[in-house]
Structure formats: C-alpha cells, structure tokens
A and B are shown apart, each in its own frame.
Chain A
Amino acid sequence: MSTNGSKPLLEVEDLVASYPVGRGLVGAAKREPKLEVHAVDGVSFALNRGEMLALVGESGCGKTSTAQSVLRLIETSGGSIRFDGQEITGLSAKDLRPLRRRMQIVYQDPYESLDPRFRVGATIEEPLQVHGIGSKDERREEVKRALELAGLTPPELYIDRYPHELSGGQRQRVAIAASLVLHPELLVADEPVSMLDVSVRAGILSILDELRDNGLAVLMITHDLSTAAHYADRIAVMYLGRIVEAGPTEEVLLAPRHPYTRALLSVVPEIRAVEHVVLTGEIPDPTRVPAGCRFHPRCPALADGSADAAGVADHCRGTALPVLPAADEHSCACHLVAALVAGGDRT
C-alpha cells in the first residue's frame, strides 16, 4: 500500500466477530451469563488491488469467519472494515447492495455450491439477473466471457451442461466464473482447491494467479501452507482468532518469527524430510481463551526454557498481546520475539 501511494482496496482494523454459545437449559434457569465465542478477536490487515493475501491457520482459528465478516455475510461485533475507503460495517442491506457486486466469494466445495438443477449458463447468469444488469443477449455474452476467464473454453461446450456432467475441477471453474461475471474488485477464495485432486489444483490456482495479475484483490483462505507459499504475495497466520504473524510470503516462510508459525511450517509434510516441532495438544476451546499470550500453553519456546532465558516467561503467561496492526512489512505478535528484537537493538 505504501509502494505506489494508492490506498488499499480493503482495510480491516481490529475486527471482532462473535457467535452466541448455548448455556444450556440448566444454565438459563440459573440465569448464568450469556456466553459468546469470539471467533475473530482483533484482526487487522490491508489488501491492495492486484495482491493475493493468504489467511492461513488450523480449523477454528477464525479465518473463514474473518472472510465472511469482510463480505458482511456474518455480522461483526467490533472493529472497522473499509472497502475502497468506505466503512461498510454499519451499512444497511440496501446501501450495501451496490458494493456487493464488487466483492465476491468462491466456496470450498463445488459439489455443494452449485445448484444441481441449474445449467452452467443459468448459474453464472443469476448474479447478473439479481443485480438487473444487461439484456438477455448481453448477459449471455457476459456469461461466455466469464467462462473463458475461468478457463472453460470454448464456452459453448459448457454453457448448457448440468453440474453432474462436470468433473470437480470443472465445477470449481464454474463457481469461479459465477463469481467473476459481475467484474468484482475483491475475490474471497475460501479453500478453493482443498476438495480437488492434486493434478487439477494447479489449474484452478493459476486462474486466481492470473486474475490477481490483472488487478483483482484476492483474499485466499487456506489451511495449506504449501499452496499459500506458491501463490500468495503475503501471508497472515491466525491462531485462536488473532493474526500472530504476517508479512511477505518469502519472509514468513524462510524466516518465521512466531513459535506457532515455526511449528506449523515444520509439520507440513514434505517430500524432503525436515525436523519436526510437533506441538502437543490441540487448539483450546475458544470460549476459554488462555490468559497472557493465547498460544502460551502449547508454546515450544516456553517448554524448552528459551522464554525463561529471555526473561519473558511471566509476560507470556500473564500479559495479553496487543492486536497486531495491519502492516506491509513482516510483523509478529510474540513477547519473546519482541524481547529478542529489543535486545538486538541495544547491542
């Protein structure tokens, strides 16, 4: 965002999204306080046109909730989302509609996201009809253009088919075509290839890659670091509702700072073997976020004493970290990394 002076297309600041959690009949009778889980608990990032940001993390880390909040598909309970400079968190459905066509989403599962009774052409045309765009012939041309963009050529071969006549990869291309037909500026891709066979994944990802090169802003949600490594410009790693580390893809991958990112990178299965840092346990219940650093109960730096040696262990256990602000450069929310950087500055 600072390189060419233009404003980012999407600016998210201190975003919070929470869901109510049932307290049960007994809980309600006892008038226990209503519980809620903060799926997204302070997330900030910015996304430029022509840029692909990968939001990576394990299931339950809040990456999909973040993406859905950005599109206002779920309501936020705090923070701000600016799309092309305009705050969208408080907008009514009516005021939001003109913006909706500028932001689109591709879902994970093309076997479920396409209506089995709609022909390919009808699926892709539907957004145009919803927004009342063009005559019938014009819409037909737009549908063909979208099919071509998604690599389904010649479009005539696909336009009258039903989803069941298509392979998984072709279905996902149809879903992408339907998202492109409105000429969006922002595309959210929620695990776009995780349901597909390895041999066709690269084809889908290279479509997104090309769209990005042509100016589309792409927010990719993925649990697969290897995919992010190949395609994203920047990576933001999420843990328990927060971004713990973000930065340019190569820097995050080659010089990860946060102990969680380091562990996560080390366990990605690879064809060439590397030494693993397997964390014990699983992600804690998000209704009971640990005090201090939310990663500290599983942190290898606390277990191996390096946090103690740096004199930050008490901070890790007791001092909450501020929300990581949106930044272009490599940034990380960790007491130990902060202490090491400060120590390095002094010498």
Chain B
Amino acid sequence: MTTPLLALEDLNVWFELPGGGELHAVRGVSFDLEAGERFGLVGESGCGKTTAMLSIMGLLPPNATVAGEVRLDGENILARGEETVSPHRWDDIAMVFQGAMNAFNPVQTVGSQIEEPMHLHGVAEGKLARRQAEELLERVGIPKDRADRFPHEFSGGMRQRAAIAMALACEPKILLADEPTTALDVMVQAQILELLVSLASDFNLALILVTHDLPVVAQVCDRAAVMYAGEVAESASIDALFHTPKHPYTRLLFAATPDLRAGGERVASIPGAPPRLDKPIVGCPFQPRCDSAFAPCATETPLLKKVGDRHVAACHLNDHVREPATA
C-alpha cells in the first residue's frame, strides 16, 4: 500500500478548562489524503473540525493536549511537538484561517504581507519576493499593481483571494481552508470556490475544506468526512455520502439542508443539540438525536468501520444489518 500524503491517526485533543476539568474536543479522528485530492470536513459548530486543523498546523493554544499521529509522507510531525511541526508549517502545509480576510495588518500593504512568510521561511528575499508576491496575486485574480495597496482598499472577496495567495507563498503541498467563504456573498463564494479548485489542480495541491455547508463540499470536494461531537461519524466519496449514507447523522444532515431544486418540499431539522464534550460520553454521541437508535447505541461506543471502498462509518446499524445472526 502506498503512503498517503497526509494521514491523521487516532487524533485526540483535550482542552484544560479554567475551572478545572477537561474538554475532549477531538475524539479519535482518523482520515487520509492523497496529493491533489480535495477533501471536505463537514459538521456543525463545535464539532472539532477547526481544532483538528489547528493540530495539524501545530497551532493549538497552550491549554491543549494532543495525542495520536499526524503523518506527512509517513513522518509523524507531532512526534516532538514544535520541533517536528515547524519545518513543515507553511512550507508543506499552509492554512487559510477562518476570518483571515479580516486579519490583515491594516497599516502594511497587502504585497508586503504576502512576502512576509517568504522572508521568514527563507524562500525569497527583496525583489524576488516582490515578484513572487505579484505573481501569486495575479494567480488568484488580483492585478499585480494592487500589491502596493492597503487591505482597506480591497473588497471582502479580494481580501480572501489575498489570504489564499499568502497561504501559497511557500508553495505548500497541502492547503487547509477553514470556512473560506462563510462571510461572503454567494456570487463571490462561487468565485473563491472556483479559484480553490483550479489552484488544487494546477499545483497538484491537496485541499482540506472545512465548512458547515454540505452543498459547498459537494461542489468542491471528491471525498469528505462528516464530524459529530469531535468524532468522524462517516467518511466517504461525496456520491456515497449523498446516495448511500451509512450513518443516520449524515442522512439527517442532508435532509436538513435546503436545496434549490427540491420544490416545496419541507426540510427537517434534527431535534436536540450535540452533547457536552466536557463530560464523558457513553454509547454513541448521536444516539439522543438519532431516529434509528436501538439497544446497543445507548451503552456501546460504535467504532469507525469499513463499510465500502474508502467508505467508513461509526454506527451500530451497519453491524446489525450486515450480521443479523451473530452473538
């Protein structure tokens, strides 16, 4: 078996809470990613998708504890903390942070901010760095003479393009994009998503798109993982997730998503709320909201199991349906 470009293996993240106690934000997440692949990480707020991305970057706050592996080309970059992560940060793995478009330094030109990672990582200096920054801006659809402008002279969509250019400054192999279009209008969103897809194919860039928006993932990605309460509930190709979901949460999430061409059909909300992550979870975390829960769900934690080609799901129903006569 070939080594995947990036593999998360049983990743766990705990946050120490100020009043004592711990919040288990990421609970045993595993998935892998090939070069040039576009992978979606979907889930509701608080499900741990951003925390998982920050742990890949080694950028978790000091009150966080990480366990598990993040393997880049087979090497566990979490092995010795900052020492093993920092050589890869921005050089191999870069990130467009949530709200990055609003995080530019207002008193520095956009061009100089795109050059900054090049200086810091020794990629380019002086005129060369400037020329590369201008090329990047042009690649993301901004005229290069805008490099001398300040962030406030850019529209929201342009600032998001510039944030993407900045992430590409050191020619990474993997781009993590955290809710890159959430604050943008639908037309600008379409422009940014088109840009991400074309960058991924032009540079053979692997993309992880983090979003709460299923249709966005469906449009951009080849595969996706659906996260719930810090765990991967299901991971598969977009087609399989939509047509043959193997976890009730995936099915209900699609049913809760309004679709333009579904006519007058009503969408259905999922009753209840996700569980608290500062308390131990017994059984399946989705069980209290699930419409198909049965005996083992309340007590036994379902494990992520293979249910098809590159298709895994953590649901007791799959065992039940597959092997009805066991035990």
Contacts and interface: CB of A to CB of B under 8 A. Distances in A.
For the residues of A in contact with B, the DSSP-based class is helix
Interface stretch (B2-10, B11-19, B261-269, B297-305): B261-269
Interface stretch (B86-94, B101-109, B215-223): B215-223
B186 A223 contact: yes
Nearest to A198: B256
Contacts of B45: 197
Interface in A259-279: 263-265, 267-273, 276, 278-279
B18 to A, nearest CB: 16
Contacts of B190: 267, 269, 276, 278
A227 B256 CA distance: 11
A270 B189 contact: no
A253 B260 contact: yes
B262 A230 contact: yes
B282 to A, nearest CB: 22
B214 A199 contact: no
Interface string A276-310: 10110011000000000000000000000000000
Contact of B157 (A250, A268, A282): A282
Nearest to B238: A271
Contacts of B189: 267, 269
A202 interface: yes
Interface residues of B, number: 41
A202 B267 contact: yes
Contacts of A337: none
A56 to B, nearest CB: 10
Nearest to B268: A202
Interface residues of A, number: 38
B191 interface: yes
A224 B182 CA distance: 12
Contacts of A200: 269-270, 273
Contact of B266 (A223, A230, A276, A283): A230
B32 interface: no
A229 interface: yes
A206 interface: yes
B262 A199 contact: no
A230 B256 contact: no
B30 to A, nearest CB: 24
Interface in A89-113: none
Contacts of A225: 186, 260
B125 interface: no
B187 A263 contact: yes
Contacts of A167: 273
5 contacts: A58-B188, A59-B185, A201-B258, A229-B261, A271-B259
In the A-B complex, the 7 residue pairs with the smallest Cβ-Cβ separation, listed nearest first, are A267-B190, A202-B269, A269-B215, A203-B269, A226-B258, A199-B270, A58-B185
Given A223-B186, A270-B215, 5 more contacts: A58-B188, A167-B273, A200-B269, A271-B215, A271-B259
